[in-house]
Chains A and B, each alone.
Chain A
Amino acid sequence: MSLDANPSIARRSLADRVLRRGPLEAVATMIIAAGVVMLMQPFSLALYSWSFATTLFGTVMFTIVSKVRE
């Protein structure tokens, strides 16, 4: 007799839970938003200088992760 009450549900690893489209898209969205804020903020020229790289990274990441399985 099996001790597992519901053996049909397979345990999913941390990678399986994190490497899904939803969370990755959320991370990419946050990076894009951060890049846009950095571009238009009036406080630091250094942040402004890094804004394009940040937005570009977020956009490329979003394009890639939108192809990842749900």
Chain B
Amino acid sequence: MRSGLPFETTGICRIVDDPGARSVDAMNELSASSRITYRAVMVRPGVARRIRGLSDRTLAWLFITPTIVLLLAINIFPLLWTIYLSFTNYRANRANVPTIWLGADWYQSILTDPDIWAAMQVTAHFVIWTVVIETVIGFGLAFLIDKKFRGHGMWTTIILLPMMLSPAVVGNFWTFLYQPQIGLFNYVVAFFTGRDASSFQMLGDVRLSPWAIVIVDAWMWTPYVMLICLAGLRSIPDYIYEAAEVDRASKWRQFWSITLPMALPFIMLAVLFRGIENFKMFDMVNLLTGGGPGSTTEVASITLKRAAFESWRTGYSSAFAIILFVTVFGLANIYVKALNKVKSR
């Protein structure tokens, strides 16, 4: 008799499959573990038959349904709810007040508001400078690490340390580093420039605070860009350089004609990823400056937080969140396209 089970060739199963062996005597002769196996085998054909009755497609749906339900509950539903709220006057602190449909009023208000426009420019300053600094230094470090000098593994680990820290931790300890009285940063700058260490405040000065957050982000995320660039440099086959050596191409020419073009998709990937991440940046800036002094470091996400949880303008902040979401989603499309290009190499 065929049981149709995957372990039907074992001795136990042969006993089970034999109708004569299913007697009480035969059961007593079996050891404890064999009895457990026996019961399992006795139960499983029924389950197997039920499962066998389902198509592969049904089984697949059975397995992915919990994930889809979870995804709908924690991702899709809040998104749709936010889109709905962005067209209403809903306020989370006055949930009992009847909700009025406002159409695209909040969108019109946000897209003509000079304060929000200013916040977008602060965000642009932060995004552009962090991406430029991180890309230039990150690629330079990757280029050096790729030379495989003595102890390059140890240096790679040391360089990667900042990106392994939490942004909350980084924000907190850079706040101490930037302290004008006791902070190490001011002393280092004073040592190199000859200025008095307590004569400037990185986080309290309207001219310096936008650069303070740029420095911290560059310190933290340059290693990440380096890692991606290093992957790009390591993917360039050696025979291309050997062919260039045979053609007597200079190192400078090799860099511009081989290294940079072949690492460019990876650099693009790093630029897009850091651009998207910094466009959404909240935690580190909130801990360092909280958007101040005044609104000089008030990036878009901090403006959004203030509108949502300080002014309690839920409908308005929902509309702003959707504007930011569409921008990030659009950039993510470009990112995925660049990623596919890298994968196809």
Residues of A within 8 A of B (CB): 25, 28-29, 32-33, 35-36, 39-42, 45, 48-49, 51-52, 55-56, 58-59, 62-63, 66
Contact = CB atoms under 8 A, between A and B. Distances in A.
B120, B123, B333 — which one has the most chain A CB atoms within 10 A of its CB?
A: B333
Contacts, number: 53
A30 B52 CA distance: 51
B117 interface: yes
B121 A35 contact: no
B318 to A, nearest CB: 14
A49 B112 contact: yes
B343 to A, nearest CB: 15
Contact of B333 (A41, A42, A49, A59): A59
Contacts of A48: 111, 117, 120
A41 B107 CA distance: 18
A55 B333 contact: no
A66 B329 CA distance: 14
Q: Is the interface of A mostly helix, strand, loop or mixed?
A: helix
A11 to B, nearest CB: 28
B76 to A, nearest CB: 16
Contact of A32 (B117, B123, B334): B334
Given A36-B327, A40-B121, A63 B333 contact: yes
Contact of A35 (B117, B120, B330, B337): B330
Chain A to chain B: the 10 pairs with minimum beta-carbon distance, closest first: A40-B124, A32-B330, A59-B330, A62-B333, A49-B111, A55-B330, A42-B121, A40-B120, A48-B117, A52-B323
B326 A56 contact: yes
B124 A59 contact: no
